[in-house]
Structure 1
Amino acid sequence: MHEHPGALILAHGGRSPRIPPGAFIAPGARIIGDVTIGEGASIWYNCVLRGDLAPIEVGARSNVQDGSVIHVEGPRKGGGGAIQPVIIGEDVLIGHMALLHGCRIESRGFVGMGAIVMDGACVQSTGMLGAGALLPPGKTVPEGELWTGRPARPRRALGPQEIAAMADQCDHYLEMAEHHRGLAAES
């Protein structure tokens, strides 16, 4: 795909990724199957988004940082198993090397570096899953709370300055994506 030099974008099972012109896909990213990327979103170096069993959606202006892996859960042979897509809202921060599987991150949610979000789990709007945390299947980080640990547990409420800092980080990644888009075009 000439619009995203160095990225691997593949159809799977008759479904192709849908990526608007304003999204940034870094070289080395792998986007496979039923994946929808929102306007202004950024998928960074060496991320894998594999929508082979169910859909993946990344909302507008969200960023999936370097080395993160996003996968889904689908039906098993013989018809068992639930379909669990990954739905990422708008203005979401997904830290470096995070792992998301069959889960939901609501708009303005935050997943820290190296954190894991399991099947059926949810990080609500302005919720924060700390770096290295593991959110078990079916658990929810409520709005405005910080959860940390393995397994993740509530630690404290987030203050207004921390919530504002998350929005600032989204703006920062929009700027960085434009800079890196230029680097990719030059190479």
Structure 2
Amino acid sequence: MASFVEMSRLNKAAVGVHRLLNSRRLEHAFLGGYELALLGSTRGTRDIDVAVKKPFLSGFEKVKEAFVDHADFLVFDGNRTDCINAIHKPTGVHIFVMLEDLPKTLDRSTDASHHLPIYTPTHMFIRTIQSLGLRSKESHRQDLVLLHDKFSLDMAKVYRKVTPLQRDDALRNCLNNERAATILRGLNLRPESDR
């Protein structure tokens, strides 16, 4: 198993990604394990996840071109048109770029230089539940517990954004982590028809 990447390398790679995306006027936010490290998690990560708001015209091509054209990035071509895999060459850090709608509200990291845009803890909590519904990863279960226990979450927003089906799918992947399962069982979600 590969070891975790040092925070100094992650920060340097994230700043490189941030500068590149800003230079192309591409809205973006960091999330996942890197964001949680910025928020105080000690679990470690091997890569950087960044969500980029898909441009209206030729979205995927514009974002991919930004990375392909920059000497600091090596892009791995593939068949997907919703994400980009790249390596930040100066640090060797893997960058996973997803094209998606960004939350209306973002936070800024406070302990890294350049005040990087990140998801709010509430949006990260919502996204973690949704991710847990798709795949069972212990790091996601740990993230769910950390976000729930450490931050004041906007539960009204959670109740609006997470469906009972998403919660139930996530719960099936949390049965071996009692704390995460308890958090999910405690979400009093209304059916879609009542929203």
Normalising by structure 1, we get a TM-score of 0.27
More helix by share: 2
Greater relative contact order structure (CA < 8 Å, 6+ sep):
2
More strand by share: 1
Normalising by structure 2, we get a TM-score of 0.26
